Amino acid sequence: MNLLKKHITEHFDFVSRYTKVEELIPMFNKKERNVRLVMLFVTENGHKDERVLGIITSYDLLCK
């Protein structure tokens, strides 16, 4: 079973390495069906089948 699917109250997503910080903040503030975004995987174009270049959490954005 995919480990990411085990987190039923948490959501993970993918973003492009070119996504601006201003675009990321609303993503973490949005909550749908009691599921919150906890982590963004950064890839070249924001696709899940690409190599992960980095990870962003809401804690990373608190310093901005």
Specify the pairing of strand 31-32 against strand 54-56.
Answer: unpaired
State the residue for tokens 């901005």.
64
Task: For residue 48, give the amino acid letter.
Answer: K
Confidence of residue 11 (pLDDT cuts 50, 70, 90): confident
Q: What is the mean pLDDT of residues 46-61?
A: 94
- pTM for this entry: 0.79
Specify the pairing of strand 35-43 against strand 10-16.
Answer: parallel
CA distance 27 to 1: 26
pLDDT, residue 1, reads: 47
CA distance 37 to 41: 11
Look up residue 26 and give its two tokens.
Answer: 């609303």
